[in-house]
């Protein structure tokens, strides 16, 4: 191998496989879409503990995916090696919210489509997905489920509480009932009327009612 052959190596030829302008444009757009995805995630998050690191991960994932796809589309041999290298990667972090999976796939898909040169599809598609998530995830409804934990001292106070619930709530269903000596504890699934929680105050003043606690929950329920 001569000195000139070294500079004709395939490694040095790959330096110019993707132009600097293409790289800069793709990464800047990927950053912009990543920030948009992050803002939508932050706006629509409904969990108990918001993770700022996950939001930043969405931005980084969009840019990293764009970087990888730019490399893969410029070299067929590299694409085969990349598939083998990425196949050994394992992620152990548990996804706590099902919607987080959608945001992860959204970031990856945006990076892939953007790096493939389909800029209008990446931008318009991301905007439409973001608007749909903002509309449906942030939709507020007075039919949101609540759990009422009620403690009474006997059947008479339980009957009075049931009558008040029948008049003050849209729907209520007894989920569980625990009877002890001198105490009856009820767990009731409740749907409010116009979001009014004042009936809890009225319940606590009923004779024989020891305590009344209303808790909102986001679990699956049968409507």
Which residue bears the tokens 């409740």?
190
**Domain chopping of the chain, boundaries:** 12-137, 145-216
Give the list of residues 6+ apart from residue 31 with CB closer than 8 angstroms, or none: 59, 62, 63
End-to-end CA, the chain: 76
Question: For 86-113, how does the pLDDT look when each residue is reduced to its tens digit (9 = 90+)?
Answer: 555 566 666 667 788 888 889 988 988 8
Residue 182 zone, left/alpha/beta (φ > 0; ψ -120 to 50; rest): left
Q: What is the model's pLDDT at position 30? A: 92
Predicted confidence (pLDDT) at residue 138 exceeds the cutoff of 60: yes
The rounded distance, in Å, linking the Cα atoms of 29 and 70 is 13
What is the tens place of the pLDDT at every residue in 10-26?
555 555 566 778 788 88
User: What is the chain's mean pLDDT, rounded?
Assistant: 79
Number of other residues whose CB lies within 10 A of the CB of residue 54: 19
pLDDT tens for 190-208 read 888 777 788 888 888 889 8
User: What gap in Å lies between CA 170 and CA 86, rounded to an integer?
Assistant: 53
Tokens of 165: 């619930």
183-192: strand order across its sheet: 169-180, 183-192, 145-152, 209-216
Question: pTM (2 decimals)?
Answer: 0.60
CATH of 145-216, one of 3.40.50.360, 3.30.70.260, 3.40.640.10, 3.30.1490.20: 3.30.70.260
Q: How far apart are CA 34 and CA 22, in angstroms?
A: 18
pLDDT attached to residue 32: 93
Spatial separation of the C-alpha atoms in residues 4 and 56, rounded to whole Å: 45
């Amino acid at each position: 191998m001569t000195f000139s052959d070294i500079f004709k190596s395939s490694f040095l030829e790959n330096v110019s496989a993707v132009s600097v302008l293409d790289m800069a444009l793709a990464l800047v757009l990927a950053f912009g879409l990543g920030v948009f995805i992050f803002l939508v995630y932050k706006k629509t998050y409904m969990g108990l503990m918001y993770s700022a690191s996950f939001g930043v991960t969405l931005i980084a994932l969009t840019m990293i995916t764009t970087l990888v796809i730019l490399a893969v589309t410029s070299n067929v041999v590299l694409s085969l090696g990349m598939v083998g290298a990425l196949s050994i990667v394992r992620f152990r972090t548990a996804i706590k919210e099902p919607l987080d999976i959608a945001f992860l796939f959204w970031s990856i898909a945006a990076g892939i489509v953007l790096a493939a040169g389909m800029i209008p599809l990446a931008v318009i598609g991301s905007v439409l997905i973001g608007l749909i998530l903002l509309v449906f995830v942030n939709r507020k409804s007075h039919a949101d489920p609540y759990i009422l934990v009620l403690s009474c001292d006997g059947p008479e106070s339980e009957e009075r509480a049931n009558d008040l619930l029948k008049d003050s709530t849209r729907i209520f269903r007894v989920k569980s009932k625990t009877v002890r000596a001198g105490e009856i504890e009820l767990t009731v699934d409740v749907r409010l009327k116009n979001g009014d929680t004042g009936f809890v105050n009225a319940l606590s003043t009923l004779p024989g009612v020891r305590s009344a606690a209303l808790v909102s929950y986001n679990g699956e329920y049968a409507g």
